[in-house]
Amino acid sequence: YYSTTAYPHVAQSSPEKDLRATAADLVVQLSTSLKTKPDVVDFGTVFTDHMLTVEWNANDGWQTPLIRPFGDLSLHPACSALHYAVELFEGLKVYRGDDKRLRLFRPLLNMERMSKSAERACLPAFDQSELLGCIKRLIEIDQDWVPHLGPACLYIRPTLIGTEPSLGVKKPNRALLYVIMCQAGSYFNTKLSLWADPKYTRAWKGGTGDCKMGGNYGGTLFAQLEAGSYGCQQVLWLYGEDHQITEGGTMNIFLHWINEDGDEELATPPLDGTILPGVTRQSILDLARKWDEFKVLERYLTMGQLCSALKQQRLKEMFGSGTACRVCHIGSIVYEEKNLQLPNQDEHSLSSRIATELTDIQVSR
Amino acid sequence: YYSTTAYPHVAQSSPEKDLRATAADLVVQLSTSLKTKPDVVDFGTVFTDHMLTVEWNANDGWQTPLIRPFGDLSLHPACSALHYAVELFEGLKVYRGDDKRLRLFRPLLNMERMSKSAERACLPAFDQSELLGCIKRLIEIDQDWVPHLGPACLYIRPTLIGTEPSLGVKKPNRALLYVIMCQAGSYFNTKLSLWADPKYTRAWKGGTGDCKMGGNYGGTLFAQLEAGSYGCQQVLWLYGEDHQITEGGTMNIFLHWINEDGDEELATPPLDGTILPGVTRQSILDLARKWDEFKVLERYLTMGQLCSALKQQRLKEMFGSGTACRVCHIGSIVYEEKNLQLPNQDEHSLSSRIATELTDIQVSR
């Protein structure tokens, strides 16, 4: 059912003229001094030995992909990514299965979303399967970095930045695509506490909230610090006069509840342009629809509806989803000077069931 | 009246503990091969011989400011500016006066706005007068780059980026402040044509539209390309159901008109959080209020009001303002399938008068 991709299979398709660079052209420069692999680390701080870089310019298109020792980038100080956030990224994971094989989880969904982000950011399109081929080669080279134990895995961060060396605000004529990989560790350790205040907005109609562009994130740190001052770990982002629930931190949000009509329902906000189309979000919807045990709906959800459900004991569970955090139970929400305590997670909670099912798929049990 | 600052005066105030680096500490490494200065170039493409860099980390604070030969930055590929747009900038200009002296135009307003952007971006605060002292030293070293003829000048770009080498979305523990300078050239050559469509939004309540953060710009390129497809040079950014006029491209917007009550008025949208508080915008308001010849108002302006004024021949002129473009007459707007032709600019237009007055101040006539 899931399009997990067996590994390693370097793409062998023929060169495409519009790409001017394929996985088959890849040049590899191996590192002469491999790093020691630490046991457990924070998310996103320890990187593997190699990285992938591909340069692009408007005249010549994509250049030869290069795998080289992990190291600093040399960038012009006027580069468009550093001034105007002409930049985007993706996040996906590679898992070591119980059968010892490595598998990427639904990587084509990431490649497709990356193409959409690139279009919105006015950065160059690239061939999705060729990029995936290059990433697979990078994983192969650094395969010892994929953890051997438990649900741990390696996080892969494709990044695309504008490198035009000019201060004009315009579509860049130069870009750099690069891929780095890091130990994933655990992103959130406990049940999450969220802070919901309509005074900050993450994304809005006519903006870029449905793309993984850098500009969606830098503006959120300030609100995250304020959440911390209320003893909360993340922001629950609201939208509009009716305080619609949109996302939590960098996660999509799900409610498992008895809806207003008395029906059991799993609900998440619809992809109306303000919501990031998460791969884990889509996978949860796919799974739940396959189970066909309760209603599965993409619908608007407001804080008023959540508070009513809580009061009438119709809320079963609230959880977030994302590649980094996977499935994450939400324990409480500070909202309008109240600290809402949400139903606890146990082994019968939907988030537990989903987490187990996703892991089984990812490690091929 | 204007706080133009005579130059050069390197700040000599005593070291401050919270800054841990002052203009007096500045280390200078001169370039051994100076570039040839081209005659006329596009805005923001040719940079001077030197740049200023100051590193910061959460443990030790600001490090020694360094002026060094202009060159590439070496950045960790996980750096927070490249993934999450933890970045901001400023733009100001230095002019060579008729008296041959160099003058910065109201630089303290830029330093203050930069501090506000830094707070919003969760980047470290710095001492405004010390930074200005360092910038003045940089200008002194590259002073031959300030044009000797006409209204031309040198554009200065202070930049502050998060350099935390981690993929966690959080307040960075490392940052880099740098300042580069480039030939300003002319930004727009002719009267501007704008394209107004409510389907794209530049900024929104609860966002970062009032700060010069990179994320406000990257998301605008796509709409700018669409404006081009309608034969327009820039986007006129609208907001809300009533199509409020907010900004044009990267400029603040002014209407000079006979308002609904029959009074002559210069109007620009208020600083409600969605509008960048432009230094040129403020200077125009200050000038017009000093003249005291007509009403000067910060007020909401809608496309409906503009269309009515145009129909009733109450519109005298519409123009944009910004450091890069200075004062820029707007000739036409494509809106709701009409191409609105706005009143022409002549020597009696308010934009001409303001441009002359600003130039006189800037070159000390």
pLDDT, tens digit, 9 for 90 and up, residues A141-199: 999 999 887 667 899 999 999 999 999 999 999 999 999 999 886 655 568 999 999 99
Whether residue A8 has a cis bond before it, omega within 30° of 0: yes
Which residues does chain A have within 8 Å of residue B250's beta carbon, measured at their own beta carbons? 169
Interface of B with A in 202-231 (CB under 8 A): 204-208, 213-222, 224-225
What would the pLDDT profile of A287-313 be if each residue is shown by its tens digit? 999 999 999 999 999 999 999 999 999
Nearest chain A residue to B41 by CA: give it. Answer: A166
* Chain B contact present for A76, CB below 8 A: yes
Decide if pLDDT at A7 tops 60: no
Q: What is the pLDDT of residue B3?
A: 36
Distance from CA of A233 to the nearest CA of B (A): 11
Partner-chain contact B215 A219, CB within 8 Å: yes
Which residues does chain B have within 8 Å of residue A170's beta carbon, measured at their own beta carbons? 221, 224
Section A329-336 average pLDDT: 97
Predicted confidence band at A125 (pLDDT cuts at 50, 70, 90)?
confident
Cβ-based neighbours of A332, under 8 Å, separated by 6 or more: A191, A193, A194, A232, A339, A340, A341, A342
In this structure, are residues B354 and B260 in contact, taking their beta carbons and an 8 Å threshold? no
Partner-chain contact B221 A86, CB within 8 Å: yes
In this structure, are residues A14 and A130 in contact, taking their beta carbons and an 8 Å threshold? no
Decide if pLDDT at A2 tops 70: no
Place of tokens 């008296």: B99
Specify the long-range contacts of residues A221-229, CB closer than 8 Å, at least 24 apart.
A221/B84, A221/B86, A221/B121, A221/B122, A221/B169, A221/B170, A221/B171, A222/B119, A222/B120, A222/B121, A222/B122, A223/A197, A224/A249, A224/B169, A224/B170, A224/B171, A225/B122, A225/B171, A226/A195, A226/A197, A226/A200, A227/A194, A227/A195
Whether residue B8 has a cis bond before it, omega within 30° of 0: yes
Section A281-291 average pLDDT: 97
In this structure, are residues A265 and A296 in contact, taking their beta carbons and an 8 Å threshold? yes
Nearest chain A residue to B177 by CA: give it. Answer: A77
Interface of B with A in 112-141 (CB under 8 A): 119-122
- Among A44, A198, A222, beta carbon nearest to B122: A222
Decide if pLDDT at B149 tops 80: no
Distance from CA of B108 to the nearest CA of A (A): 21
Q: What is the pLDDT of residue B43?
A: 84
Mutate to test the interface with B, among A49, A76, A87 (most CBs of B within 10 A): A87
Decide if pLDDT at A127 tops 70: yes
Interface of B with A in 12-31 (CB under 8 A): none
Mutate to test the interface with B, among A83, A154, A166, A197 (most CBs of B within 10 A): A83
**% chain B with pLDDT above 90:** 81
Section A46-65 average pLDDT: 96
Lowest mean per-residue pLDDT among A264-273, A283-292, B33-42, B352-361? B33-42
Q: What is the pLDDT of residue B339?
A: 97
Partner-chain contact B214 A217, CB within 8 Å: no
Partner-chain contact B47 A78, CB within 8 Å: yes
Which residues does chain A have within 8 Å of residue B120's beta carbon, measured at their own beta carbons? 219, 222
Partner-chain contact B77 A120, CB within 8 Å: no
Would you identify the CATH topology of the domain B192-363? D-amino Acid Aminotransferase; Chain A, domain 2 (3.20.10)
* Chain A contact present for B40, CB below 8 A: no
Q: What is the pLDDT of residue B217?
A: 97
Specify the long-range contacts of residues B282-290, CB closer than 8 Å, at least 24 apart.
B282/B109, B283/B2, B283/B106, B283/B358, B284/B254, B284/B321, B284/B327, B284/B354, B286/B1, B286/B2, B287/B354, B287/B357, B287/B358, B288/B354, B290/B1
Interface of B with A in 294-353 (CB under 8 A): none
What would the pLDDT profile of A80-95 be if each residue is shown by its tens digit? 999 999 999 999 999 9
Nearest chain A residue to B166 by CA: give it. Answer: A45
So where are chain B's domains?
Answer: 27-184, 192-363
* CATH for the stretch B27-184: 3.30.470.10
Q: Which amino acid, B347?
A: E
Q: What is the pLDDT of residue B24?
A: 86
Partner-chain contact A75 B73, CB within 8 Å: yes
Cβ-based neighbours of B27, under 8 Å, separated by 6 or more: B64, B65, B66, B67
Higher pLDDT, A130 or B191: A130
* Chain A contact present for B240, CB below 8 A: no
Section B323-342 average pLDDT: 94
In this structure, are residues B267 and B246 in contact, taking their beta carbons and an 8 Å threshold? no
Partner-chain contact B219 A207, CB within 8 Å: yes
Distance from CA of B12 to the nearest CA of A (A): 28
Predicted confidence band at B187 (pLDDT cuts at 50, 70, 90)?
low
Mutate to test the interface with A, among B49, B87, B210, B274 (most CBs of A within 10 A): B87
Higher pLDDT, B348 or B86: B86
Cβ-based neighbours of A210, under 8 Å, separated by 6 or more: A203, A271, A273, A274, A275, A276, A277
Q: The pTM is what?
A: 0.93
Partner-chain contact B213 A219, CB within 8 Å: yes
Nearest chain A residue to B78 by CA: give it. Answer: A180
Decide if pLDDT at A39 tops 90: no
ipTM of predicted complex? 0.94
Mutate to test the interface with B, among A47, A72, A76, A82 (most CBs of B within 10 A): A82
Partner-chain contact B84 A178, CB within 8 Å: no
Q: What is the pLDDT of residue A188?
A: 56
Decide if pLDDT at B206 tops 80: yes
Query: How many Cβ contacts (< 8 angstroms) between chains A and B?
Result: 220
Nearest chain A residue to B165 by CA: give it. Answer: A45
**% chain A with pLDDT above 90:** 81
Predicted confidence band at B186 (pLDDT cuts at 50, 70, 90)?
low
Which residues does chain B have within 8 Å of residue A204's beta carbon, measured at their own beta carbons? 201, 204, 207
Which residues does chain A have within 8 Å of residue B221's beta carbon, measured at their own beta carbons? 84, 86, 121-122, 169-171
- Among B119, B180, B217, beta carbon nearest to A84: B217
Decide if pLDDT at A346 tops 90: no
What would the pLDDT profile of B12-24 be if each residue is shown by its tens digit? 333 334 445 788 8
Distance from CA of B269 to the nearest CA of A (A): 20
Q: What is the mean pLDDT of chain A?
A: 91
Which residues does chain A have within 8 Å of residue B184's beta carbon, measured at their own beta carbons? none
Which residues does chain B have within 8 Å of residue A213's beta carbon, measured at their own beta carbons? 85, 215, 218-219
Distance from CA of B208 to the nearest CA of A (A): 6
**% chain A with pLDDT above 70:** 92
Distance from CA of A83 to the nearest CA of B (A): 5
Decide if pLDDT at B224 tops 90: yes
Decide if pLDDT at A347 tops 90: no
- Among A44, A71, A216, beta carbon nearest to B167: A44
Mutate to test the interface with A, among B67, B80, B84, B239 (most CBs of A within 10 A): B84
Cβ-based neighbours of B119, under 8 Å, separated by 6 or more: A222, B125
Partner-chain contact A214 B249, CB within 8 Å: no
Q: Which segment, A54-68, A138-152, A345-359, is predicted with the most confidence on average?
A: A54-68
Lowest mean per-residue pLDDT among A35-39, A234-238, A267-271, B63-67? A35-39
Q: What is the pLDDT of residue B286?
A: 97
Partner-chain contact B161 A86, CB within 8 Å: no
Partner-chain contact B180 A206, CB within 8 Å: no
Decide if pLDDT at B356 tops 70: yes
